[in-house]
Amino acid sequence: MRRTVLKTLVAGVAGALFTLPALAQKPVEVEFYYPVAVGGPITKIVDDMVADFQKENPGIRIKPIYAGSYQDSIAKALTALKGGTPPQLAVLLSTDMFTLIDEDAIVPIDGLAKSDADKKWLGGFYDAFMQNSRTGGHVWGVPFQRSTIVMYYNKDLFKQAGLDPERAPGTWAELVEAAKKLTKKDAAGNVTQWGVEIPSGGAFAYWLFQALTTPNDAILMNEAGNQTYLDKPEVIEAAQYWHDLSAKHGVMPKGTIDWGTTPKDFLEKKAAIIWTTTGNLTNIRKNADFPFGVAMMPKQKRGGSPTGGGNFYIFKSGTPEQQQAALKFAQWATTPERAADWSIATGYVAVTPAAWETDKMKKYAQEVPAAAVARDQLDVSVAEFSTHENQRVTKVLNDALQAILTDAKPAKQALTDAQRESERILRSYK
């Protein structure tokens, strides 16, 4: 009898031991929202990245969900949050930080990254990118696909216009003079080639505007995200300059210019100079059939551009295991080697100085000097416009800029009205 009981106990223990590893091996699943329309080449890059990570970390399964544009992605993330099924990890705009905090959607990354190695990792990013990643004494997002605005110019068209193809316009005045020489008209007086195009349509007008306000030594908001400075004289002066490129100087199309039209017009030689994200570098490199240059923003009182692009955010709704798995993926994706790979594949700026010290990044910077322009501009870059109630406040500014560029309102009136409205929206956050 005792022997039978003992046998049963031994069998039970053995069975338990046999089933334990199977339970332990069940991978931690992490849903990962990524902002790109399905089917683009970036989708494959992310899929490959996830596959590589899972080979090295079989205990974690990352499930990418391609959520469309950044605007689609934040809308879907917040809808999922309210429905009780948010992702555990997402790449969303760095400027979505205040919105995600207000919605109680995310956890501070520095609350999860507690070891000395974690803290060293968090301290390894370019400070210009961290300005949109921290507030209230905490780090809420981790820089991933980040950018600045740069100026692309067609060297062949510069030569034809009698301009030095190796020297981009360095000041506002030089930009106007060069753009006048680069603007061409046909016999009927219709413009066939624009001197310059700065996109102003859609969601990103405010961002391009910061490429004018920053060189004019104007900051548009405070670090706490509860105060804007839209009616300052330097801000109005920057808006007037933008307006005058078309209305006074005739070197840029009138009205608003769509974001997607700008690189297309550049590649089709309809625009000699464009301002757009460094994230367009790979696209332009692959598709331009002419030599082109990349330069920093032209100066007025100083140099500078806003930073831009997306951060990793970890959602509060994840289990502790999911949050740690999400942190591990964010750390893995931003290691020097991975950050270098991502930058080379996409054109975004590698987010740590250590990434630029890798052999592959040094080689890339030698082969494609344009890639280093955005990195060097980080020394004079500022935080992208971001506040509480970010989408509402940004829309107020975008609407004001469109009113200025379409001659619906003078610059001073449009921005004074925008400041008044933004103060009304932000009143409860002060």
Q: pLDDT tens digit string along 197-223?
A: 999 988 899 999 999 999 999 999 999
Residue predicted with more confidence, 401 or 7? 401
What is the mean predicted confidence (pLDDT) over 340-369? 95
Q: What integer best gives the mean pLDDT of the chain?
A: 92
3-state SS of the chain is CHHHHHHHHHHHHHHHHHHHHHHHCCCEEEEEEECCCCCCHHHHHHHHHHHHHHHHCCCEEEEEEECCCHHHHHHHHHHHHHCCCCCCEEEEEHHHHHHHHHCCCECCHHHHCCCHHHHHHHCCCCHHHHCCCEECCEECCEEEEEEEEEEEEEHHHHHHCCCCCCCCCCEHHHHHHHHHHHCEECCCCCEEEEEEECCCCHHHHHHHHHHHHCCCCCCCECCCCCCECCCCHHHHHHHHHHHHHHHCCCCCCCCCCCCCHHHHHHHCCCEEEEEEEHHHHHHHHHHCCCCEEEECCCECCCCCCEEEEEEEEEECCCCHHHHHHHHHHHHHHCCHHHHHHHHHHHCCECCCHHHHCCHHHHHHHHHCCHHHHHHHHHHHCECCCCCCCHHHHHHHHHHHHHHHHCCCCCHHHHHHHHHHHHHHHHHHHC
Instruction: Indicate the range of 9-18, 193-202, 273-282 predicted with least confidence.
Output: 9-18
Give the predicted TM-score (pTM) of the model: 0.88
Which of the four pLDDT bands, split at 50, 70 and 90, describes residue 346?
confident
Instruction: Indicate the range of 31-45, 157-171, 306-320, 335-349 predicted with least confidence.
Output: 31-45
pLDDT attached to residue 5: 43
276: pLDDT strictly greater than 50 = yes
Q: Residues 380, 304: contact at Cβ < 8 Å?
A: yes
pLDDT attached to residue 24: 53
Residues forming a β-bridge with 295: 151
Which of the four pLDDT bands, split at 50, 70 and 90, describes residue 69?
confident
What is the mean predicted confidence (pLDDT) over 324-333? 98
6: pLDDT strictly greater than 60 = no
pLDDT attached to residue 19: 43
pLDDT attached to residue 347: 86
Q: Residues 230, 418: contact at Cβ < 8 Å?
A: yes
pLDDT attached to residue 80: 95
290: pLDDT strictly greater than 80 = yes
What is the mean predicted confidence (pLDDT) over 268-286? 94
38: pLDDT strictly greater than 90 = no
282: pLDDT strictly greater than 50 = yes
